[in-house]
Amino acid sequence: MGRDTIAEIITSIRNADRDKKRVVRITFTNITEKIVKILLQEGFIENVRTHRENNKNFLVLTLQHRRTTKIPYRNILNLKRISRPGLRIYSNSQRIPRILGGMGIVIISTSRGIMTDREARLEGIGGEILCYIW
């Protein structure tokens, strides 16, 4: 049985954010690279770099923590896996959900690649809903 790499990266990022860690190392695949690029474009993570160790490639993410001295630390990154190997969830372009009225993003796997909900609506295509991020 195969691994669910999308669930693994979501869980790694969520756990690092809850433990107030700044750096996360995840396995490099084409899908994880595209999802991380979307997170970087949308401002959910600060920096990404590749790392090679023992003939394996990794992505090293620097998380963005917005902490002030007056307000105690709160999780700013919420990630939720929607479609999974046991239950695939698809949507057309008109029925793509809006997260927090457009404040969050939905990552969708379409026939033209992995993209955000805004890009999919503009192009008028639907696909498999991978995850919600807010």
Q: What is the CATH number of the domain that holds 104?
A: 3.30.1490.10
The answer to whether residue 69 scores a pLDDT higher than 50 is no
Residues 12 and 59 in one domain: yes
- According to DSSP, residue 100 is labeled G
Mean pLDDT of the region 39-50: 93
Q: Which domain holds residue 12?
A: 5-63
Q: What is the mean pLDDT of residues 32-48?
A: 94
Number of domains observed in the structure of the chain = 2
Residue-by-residue DSSP string for 20-79: T-SEEEEE--HHHHHHHHHHHHHTSEEEEEEEEETTEEEEEEEE-----SSSPP-----E
What pLDDT, on a 0 to 100 scale, did the predictor assign at position 67? 55
Query: Is residue 69, in this structure, part of any structural domain at all?
Result: no
Same domain, 13 and 58: yes
Exposed / middle / buried, residue 23 (Cβ in 10 Å: 0-12, 13-18, 19+): exposed
pLDDT given at position 24: 95
**Average pLDDT of the residues in 73-98:** 89
pLDDT of residue 128: 98
Q: Are residues 54 and 88 in the same domain?
A: no
User: Is the same domain home to 88 and 51?
Assistant: no
